Amino acid sequence: MNILITGANGQLGNEMQVLSKENRQHTYFFTDVQELDICDEQAVHGFVEDNRIDVIVNCAAYTAVDTAEDNQELCDKLNHVAPGYLAAAAEACGAALIQVSTDYVFDGTGYTPYTEEAATCPNSVYGSTKLAGEQAVMKHCSRAMVIRTAWLYSIYGNNFVKTMLRLGRERETLGVVFDQIGTPTYANDLARAIFAAVNRGIVPGVYHFSNEGVCSWYDFTLAIHRLAGIKTCKVSPLHTDEFPAKAPRPHYSVLDKTKIKKTFGIDIPHWEASLAVCMKNLEE
Ligand SMILES: NC(=O)c1ccc[n+]([C@@H]2O[C@H](COP(=O)([O-])OP(=O)(O)OC[C@H]3O[C@@H](n4cnc5c(N)ncnc54)[C@H](OP(=O)(O)O)[C@@H]3O)[C@@H](O)[C@H]2O)c1
């Protein structure tokens, strides 16, 4: 199959590049904004048609959650309007589209894992534009899959794991929120799940994917420091209101992954096991 990966220089896009080496049966078109700006409708249609694309994996997004609050127009273009272009281009060629979305489509007032059917209610610009993107791809492409994920990290790009490693080495004390509960996701595991869907056959619909288990950002930080052997930084639990951020975060955003596991027969590692793998890869 001819597979187009957009946003290929990001965390997930890079992990898709890594796993393409284990999936040599396909032909890949790895693009980031320089090669294919997904906000350029004509360019998107031309690229998909000219290269006879069978599957688009959209890893491009506006992911800066706080700055999104002041950049609504740009964020909406990238997270909502552009995925609509990709979906229409896919539909015109009979291709499938995998759109990656977020746990921020939920308001986080729940206390049991969110299923795909749970009511959405984003409380940030980022979450609202990602939800609109989900709706656009489902509307314009009959072979669209939306995979919502959460707390993504990787050896590539900037992310929470790298920030906590740096702060842990620089500081003697650190406060991290303990009242936001979710599940970290190693982008390599998400890329593996995407390949499982591509190889077993696209089944349209909304899916949830994160690693297994549950933790707070505080617990996540302790695990990062423990695995890195950082003992000189005392980490303290903070309430959300002690660490003000521009965009509100869901207090609880654990995703129920039953559907993706059953549909594609995948096993998902626990977040601590995957964190250990990522940290080992970071050392190499
Ligand atoms: N990061 C998280 O914690 C998280 C959590 C839940 C869901 N997600 C979702 O997971 C997906 C992957 O996230 P990620 O963390 O891998 O994202 P990322 O690292 O921010 O990568 C996004 C990539 O898209 C590129 N891009 C920006 N504008 C573009 C355009 N107009 N056309 C083509 N490419 C463009 C970016 O380039 P520049 O860097 O040059 O802008 C970047 O290389 C996204 O859909 C995101 O919403 C992420």
Residue-wise pLDDT for 222-234, tens only, equals 999 999 999 999 9
Ligand 1 lined by 272 (C-beta under 6 Å)? no
Amino acid at 140: H
For residues 263 and 208, the answer to whether their CB atoms sit within 8 Å is no
Tell me what the pLDDT averaged over the chain comes to.
98
Report how far ligand 1's centroid is from the alpha carbon of 63 (Å).
Answer: 6
3-class DSSP state of 265: coil
CA distance 215 to 116: 20
Q: Domain 2-158+185-212+254-268 is classified in which CATH homologous superfamily?
A: NAD(P)-binding Rossmann-like Domain (3.40.50.720)
Residue written as token pair 């601590």: 272
Above 90 in pLDDT, residue 244?
Answer: no
Cite the active site residues.
126
Tens digits of per-residue pLDDT, 64-105?
999 999 999 999 999 999 999 999 999 999 999 999 999 999
Above 90 in pLDDT, residue 284?
Answer: no
Report how far ligand 1's centroid is from the alpha carbon of 232 (Å).
Answer: 33
CA distance 69 to 112: 28
Ligand 1 lined by 78 (C-beta under 6 Å)? yes
Q: Which atom belonging to ligand 1 lies closest to the Cα atom of 158? A: 19
Tens digits of per-residue pLDDT, 98-113?
999 999 999 999 999 9
* Predicted local confidence at residue 114, as pLDDT: 98
Q: Which atom belonging to ligand 1 lies closest to the Cα atom of 8? A: 43
Phi and psi torsions of 157, nearest 5°: 70, -175
Of the residues 17, 19, 30, 32, which should be mutated to test ligand 1's pocket, given the most ligand atoms within 8 Å of the CB? 32
Amino acid at 176: V
Report how far ligand 1's centroid is from the alpha carbon of 223 (Å).
Answer: 25
Phi and psi torsions of 96, nearest 5°: -100, 160
pTM reported for the whole predicted model: 0.98
3-class DSSP state of 232: coil
Q: Which DSSP symbol is given to 78?
A: I
CA distance 239 to 250: 13
